Amino acid sequence: MDDKLRDRVEALFEEAPQTKKASELKEELISNLTEKYNDLVANGRTSEEAYNSVIAGIGDIDELIRGLKHSSPFDQEKELISRKKTALVVSASVGLYIFSVIVLIVCTELLRLDDILSIVLFLFTITIPTCLLIYHFMAQPSYKKEEDTLVEEFKEWNQNSKYKKELYQSINSIMWTLVTVIYLLVSFIFGIWAFSWIIFIIGAVLQQIIHLIFSLSNRKE
């Protein structure tokens, strides 16, 4: 029956362009159909009933194929604007994080301010980019399914995947910027160049932890 499902999806994608994106979409659809089919059979449906049920639940595949062939200028412009906005927010946030470290150094080493006051100013400074990043990613629109079909489920999954990819890249960019700043700061202030490189190892471990968290989140979906 797996071959029958694959043949059915292959037939639906006959008019689709031969691109990597189309191939990934097709394999994702086959995987979802097979999973739903196995669940129905496990719950007592016959093979034929399960097959007919999952095929009926695919939805309008033509719309997805049209999207694979060409996207409208409006959609392309909208995506370009969104990417530019994300790049601007992340760049500004990274700059503010670096600035916050400079503020701490100036307060403690040059102005000789009280340690508590210096830390308060530092925390206040890093609050601004943190709030900026949280607001930007929380304000991203999410796709809501219009009907309970696999096509609509894929559209929702695809939108969420793009959002998570942007978020993951932004977190990595900010984390490695902070790691570099902390490395230089610790090395110059304490003069421990022979040991401060360990900070980069810690950064690599943190990156793997972040990657694991995102991977587990994707599997749950």
**144-198 confidence digits (pLDDT tens):** 665 566 666 666 666 777 777 878 888 888 888 888 878 877 787 778 888 889 9
Q: What is the overall mean pLDDT for the chain?
A: 79
**Residue 192, pLDDT score:** 85
**10-25 confidence digits (pLDDT tens):** 887 887 777 777 787 7
Q: What is the DSSP string of the chain?
A: -HHHHHHHHHHHTTTS-SSHHHHHHHHHHHHHHHHHHHHHHHTT--HHHHHHHHHHTS--HHHHHHHHH---HHHHHHHHHHHHHHHHHHHHHHHHHHHHHHHHHIIIIIS---HHHHHHHHHHHHHHHHHHHHHHHHTS-----SSSSHHHHHHHHHHHHHHHHHHHHHHHHHHHHHHHHHHHHHHHHH--HHHHTHHHHHHHHHHHHHHHHHHHHHHH-
Residue type present at position 34: T
Length of the chain: 221
